[in-house]
Amino acid sequence: YIGFGFPDATESTAVDVEIVGLHEKFTLKFSHVVAENTPKGLAAAYFAELVSEKTGGWVEIQVYPNGVLYDAQEEFDALKNGEVQMIAPAFSEVTVRDPKWIVMDLPYLFDSEAKVEQAFEGSVGELLLKSIEREGFKGLAFWDNGFKQLTNNVRPIILPEDVHGLLFRVMPSEALFKTYQTVGAAAVTISFNDVYNALRDGVIDGQENTLSNIYSKGFYQQQQYMTITNHNYLGYVVLIDPEFWRTLPEVYQSSILEAMEEVTAWQRHHARELNKEMLERIAVGSNIEIYEQTEEERAVWRKALKPLYDVYEPIIGKELLDEFAKLQN
Ligand code: LMR
């Protein structure tokens, strides 16, 4: 017996008596900043559906997409203040709260999605979750989006010197600012919801994002050049308010964890497909010039950006870096 009846069930049964106290409906607000037709948007919606199914409607996840409630940094405070119960920020946003997460923003850290997966599922993932827990956030899972690509309006970006003097929008992670500075460009933080206008108005020359974000927010319509760089991985950590979590009956906690596991597995595969599809849509539906970085060019970028690894080593710490070193082997 796992359903516990639906919220409007009025009949009392023997089982109901045993689980008395459970008949309280729990509602969780889940805020995120991206469009619904993206890896995160779809995962959040699917998660809400599965949780409702698994708890017979006794736990309701209300999803607020597109940053309608908060921008990415405000979400952390809203979670702490109990205004929302779940968020799924990008790693770069987490670095503001926990600098150890900067490790995920080191340029060209991952050369394949398989490595990313290995990191999420192994000790790297465990260490990152433990670290963010100390800041008062309970991590439930890592969700994928994909690798970030570079768009701009000035010239094709092939080698590091091509970004000289350009201004890019980045998420508020110190390592991202430093990345651009290291190759002679500049970076500025703008909330995700304001990026489209900033591109349109020429406030910035370019931005970096996944194909699904570039497509769903129309950034490609305001940009002339896109380079497939795969220079950083854009992933998310699903966070829940630990105080709220403790108030949930164990049986609902299990349902949530189960739903999370199913969604995470589904999402991993789906994120890749979606980003591929969005690349096609961008190519077909616009005049943007798309250039794919070669292995040789990638090596030049890696070399130019290598100093960042030394800069952040003391902040990230040996324990975490050692785990990464094991991954690379
Ligand atoms: C951003 O550029 O702010 C986005 O990548 C945010 C997100 O959650 O994907």
- What confidence tens digit (pLDDT) does each residue in 251-309 have? 999 999 999 999 999 999 899 999 999 999 999 999 999 999 999 999 999 999 999 99
Mutate to test the pocket of ligand 1, among 234, 237, 239, 274 (most ligand atoms within 8 A of CB): 234
Q: What is the pLDDT of residue 230?
A: 98
Q: For residues 104 and 129, what is the distance between their CA atoms, to the nearest angstrom? A: 13
pLDDT higher than 60, residue 37:
yes
> Given pLDDT bands bounded at 50, 70 and 90, which one contains residue 20?
very low
Residues in contact with 281: Cβ distance below 8 Å, sequence separation at least 6, in sequence order: 215
Instruction: State the distance from the centre of ligand 1 to the C-alpha of 193, rounded, in angstroms.
Output: 9
- DSSP code at position 104: G
Residues in contact with 56: Cβ distance below 8 Å, sequence separation at least 6, in sequence order: 2, 3, 4, 5, 6, 7
Instruction: State the distance from the centre of ligand 1 to the C-alpha of 236, rounded, in angstroms.
Output: 9
State if pTM tops 0.80. yes
Q: For residues 235 and 328, what is the distance between their CA atoms, to the nearest angstrom? A: 19
Q: What is the CB-side half-sphere exposure of residue 300 using CA atoms within 13 A?
A: 12
Percentage of the chain with pLDDT > 90?
91
Q: Closest ligand 1 atom, CA of 90?
A: 8
Instruction: State the distance from the centre of ligand 1 to the C-alpha of 149, rounded, in angstroms.
Output: 12
Q: For residues 298 and 301, what is the distance between their CA atoms, to the nearest angstrom? A: 5
- Calculate the CA 284 to chain-centre distance: 26
Q: What is the pLDDT of residue 23?
A: 72
Q: For residues 181 and 80, what is the distance between their CA atoms, to the nearest angstrom? A: 33
- DSSP code at position 293: P
Contact assessment for residue 243 and residue 156, using Cβ atoms and an 8 Å cutoff: no
Smallest CA-to-CA distance from 269 within 107, 92, 143, 184 is with 143
Contact assessment for residue 291 and residue 227, using Cβ atoms and an 8 Å cutoff: yes
Q: What is the pLDDT of residue 88?
A: 98
Q: Give the bridge partners for 31, in sequence order.
A: 64, 87
Strands 233-240 and 86-87: antiparallel
Q: For residues 207 and 196, what is the distance between their CA atoms, to the nearest angstrom? A: 10
Q: What is the pLDDT of residue 8?
A: 44
The verdict on the CB of residue 90 being under 6 Å from ligand 1 is yes
Q: Is the interface score ipTM higher than 0.85?
A: yes
Alpha-carbon radius of gyration of the chain: 21
Residue position matching structure tokens 């108030």: 247
Ligand 1: residue whose CA is nearest its atom 8: 90
